[in-house]
Amino acid sequence: MDLVTILVVGSSVLDQVSRVERFPVAGESVRGSDVQHFAGGKGANQAVTVARLGARTIFSSCVGNDANGHEMIQALRCEDIDCSHTEFVNGKATGTALIALNNEGQNMIIACLGANMAFSAEFAYKVAHENLHHVLLLQAEIPLETVKAAAEASQGIVIFNPAPSISIPAGIYPLVDYLTPNEHEAAHLVDHPVNSIADARKAAQELLARGCRNVVITMGSHGAYYANEKDSGHVTAPKVNVIDTVGAGDCFNGALAFAIAHQTPLHDAVKFAVGCASISVTHLGAQSGLPYWDELPASLKQSLGSPKFV
């Protein structure tokens, strides 16, 4: 594989996970298992994904100047990720996610973003401007003005994963080469349900009309739908033994960024990303199941075709 550079500007979050037999309804308490702690955050998860696949990875984030923040960044450095553009913020706690996980591997998450929301637009612009990269990967666990600043400064391909669900200002769409919501996030953006491929097709056309150049909507076990002005299609997901879906979307986005950085055609890039995400859900913990290149099935590697630099 050629060595590409992917810059991830985004979040670091400590995941606190408890298993439940079923999710509670409003006003109800249910028993959970002992709490387990995992490194997470959409930005960090995506950075680990692209690093394990073999890209040169630069990760910029804001964490608290606390034990959790230093421990999480050190763990990312051990993944051979360049974390030199990290800010340790005094007076703000490192982000935390409270996660309930049911017996089917589905999750409910409360994200307490803490220091991530101290990520300034000026810092993000500087990082994106000064670090050459093939792809810039962004998410919505940092301020949207920070997302916009990084996208404006980037001279690479911009992928924006609008997660968790947010409303995107009109000025951001034209800065985005690939918009990658899941079905719930897409429904929030277009204000109608996205429960089927037909719904996804309609939503994608609406989002393309706002100025982004490609839309990829992930749909869990139903795979992903993609569209641009010239092409569209649906990639199905393989059936696997689902243990934990936390981080599956992040794995998808990291793998998509890796494929796009190698100029892989969109259908094949989405197929590769779906395959990687399907591997990730067979392990507990957002980063535990993120696959290494050498562990991928040969058929999945072949979906990249003949990779080359952007």
Q: What is the spatial distance between Cα 131 and Cα 66, in angstroms, rounded to a whole number?
A: 27
Cβ contact 153:169 at 8 Å: no
Determine the Cα angle at 161 with ends 155 and 166, to 5°: 120
Q: What is the spatial distance between Cα 229 and Cα 114, in angstroms, rounded to a whole number?
A: 39
Whether 250 is catalytic: yes
Please tell me which residue in 82, 250, 268, 294 is annotated as part of the active site: 250
Q: What is the spatial distance between Cα 264 and Cα 165, in angstroms, rounded to a whole number?
A: 28
Supply 128's token pair.
């994106």
Nearest by Cα to 282 from 234, 253, 247, 258: 247
Q: Output helix, strand, coil percentages for the chain, rounded to the nearest 5.
A: 35, 25, 40
> Which H or E run contains 198?
helix 197-208
Active-site residue set: 250
